[in-house]
């Protein structure tokens, strides 16, 4: 599985008083398996970019290729595209609507023509893959689930379509700390089991550092940084000028570096920072 974006440009309300350039020459490519985190200030183009990746939006100019096939021109192939590319919007639990969890998860596969026997298999696999007990929740109303369980059930509905790429917009938004940790671990587990491309947007820099193996930083409709979390977050001063933060451990490391000559750290989490501090103190 691969995705390639070439010189993507998108204008909202063209030739109108509110005309806005949302994407301005965005280009990148990703091969599976990999996890790509996208960060950027509000209005930088993150969500607009995500909606191009499964053909939900047609670009003003530029192309998007899925496995070498252009999806940004002819709109007739979008059913096939959405078999391959699953998109989970922010707060996906608001889109639950069926009378049982199993029926809700089955909606996507049925909608793309999967037969009943295969749909039932996919529904069980998807529910279990997101960490829910099929026998316990399948016949429950999705509205009787806890907030974290609703989020899992909603994601299961996309996973049941067995996409080769999963796109998530703020997947941990609005969850309490325990559910937040659980969903983060679940997403990582799903990506590993399905050996897929995972692309997600988040404002939580600790999540991006923990989950991603590659990061894209967007500003004013452009990709301005592209690298590993350690590479990107080591450019803390540049991120700060764009109104972005870093994981708490990275910010603490940057503050220590400003005050203590000779201390150097590119820590992404508390454990790495503690080890760097230990090494520094022992060297003195």
Neighbours of 18 (CB within 10 A): 7
Say what the pLDDT of residue 112 is. 84
pLDDT band at residue 72 under the 50/70/90 scheme = confident
Which of 59, 73, 68 is CA-nearest to residue 8? 59
Per-residue pLDDT reduced to its tens digit, 9-58: 999 999 889 899 999 999 999 998 999 999 999 999 999 999 999 888 99
**Inter-helix orientation angle 177-194/116-129, to 10°:** 130
What mean pLDDT is predicted for residues 75-99? 85
Cα separation, 182 vs 147, whole angstroms = 12
Cα separation, 214 vs 13, whole angstroms = 32
Cα separation, 167 vs 250, whole angstroms = 26
pTM of the model: 0.92
Cα separation, 71 vs 37, whole angstroms = 22
Per-residue pLDDT reduced to its tens digit, 135-188: 999 999 999 999 999 999 999 999 999 999 999 999 999 999 999 999 999 999
Find all residues with CB under 8 Å of 218, minimum gap 6, and list them: 26, 38, 39, 40, 44, 45, 46, 49, 224
CA–CA distance from 42 to each of 10, 144, 201, 214, 243 (Å)?
Answer: 16, 33, 11, 20, 10
- Tell me which of 1.10.287.130, 3.40.50.300, 3.40.50.360, 3.40.50.2300 is the CATH number of domain 2-229: 3.40.50.300
Give yes or no for residue 270 having a pLDDT over 70.
Answer: yes
In which residue are the tokens 């990999």 written?
Answer: 34
Per-residue pLDDT reduced to its tens digit, 191-225: 999 999 999 999 999 999 999 999 999 999 999 99
pLDDT band at residue 82 under the 50/70/90 scheme = confident
Chain centroid to CA 281: 38
Give yes or no for residue 76 having a pLDDT over 90.
Answer: no
Which of 28, 13, 2 is CA-nearest to residue 218? 28
Q: What angle do CA 218, 219, 225 make, to 5 degrees?
A: 50
Which of 257, 249, 251 is CA-nearest to residue 275? 249
Say what the pLDDT of residue 75 is. 62
Of all residues in the chain, the percent with pLDDT exceeding 90 is 84
Which of 176, 166, 177, 172 is CA-nearest to residue 152? 172
CA–CA distance from 123 to each of 85, 126, 157, 270 (Å)?
Answer: 18, 5, 8, 38
């Amino acid at each position: 599985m691969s995705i390639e974006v070439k010189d993507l440009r998108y204008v909202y309300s063209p030739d109108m008083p509110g005309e806005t350039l949302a994407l301005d020459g965005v280009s990148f490519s990703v091969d599976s398996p990999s996890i790509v985190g996208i960060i950027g200030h509000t209005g930088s183009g993150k969500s607009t970019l995500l909606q191009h990746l499964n053909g939900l939006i047609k670009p003003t100019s530029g192309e998007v290729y899925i496995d070498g096939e252009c999806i940004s021109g002819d709109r007739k192939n979008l059913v096939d595209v959405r078999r391959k590319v699953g998109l989970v919007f922010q707060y996906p639990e608001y889109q639950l609507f069926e009378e049982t969890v199993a029926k809700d998860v089955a909606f996507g596969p049925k909608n793309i023509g999967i037969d009943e026997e295969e749909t039932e298999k996919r529904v069980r696999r998807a529910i279990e893959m997101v960490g829910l007990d099929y026998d316990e929740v399948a016949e429950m109303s999705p509205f009787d689930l806890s907030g974290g369980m609703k989020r899992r059930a909603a994601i299961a509905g996309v996973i049941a379509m067995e996409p080769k790429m999963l796109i998530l917009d703020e997947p941990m938004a609005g969850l309490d700390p325990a559910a937040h940790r659980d969903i983060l671990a679940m997403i990582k587990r799903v990506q590993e089991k399905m050996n897929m491309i995972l692309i997600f947007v988040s404002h939580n820099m600790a999540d991006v550092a923990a989950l991603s193996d590659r990061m894209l930083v967007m500003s004013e409709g452009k990709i301005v940084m592209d690298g590993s979390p350690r590479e990107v977050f080591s450019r803390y001063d540049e991120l700060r000028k764009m109104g972005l933060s870093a994981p708490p451990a990275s910010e603490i490391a940057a503050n220590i570096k400003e005050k203590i000559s000779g201390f150097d750290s590119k820590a992404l989490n508390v454990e790495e920072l503690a080890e760097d501090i230990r090494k520094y103190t022992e060297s003195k």
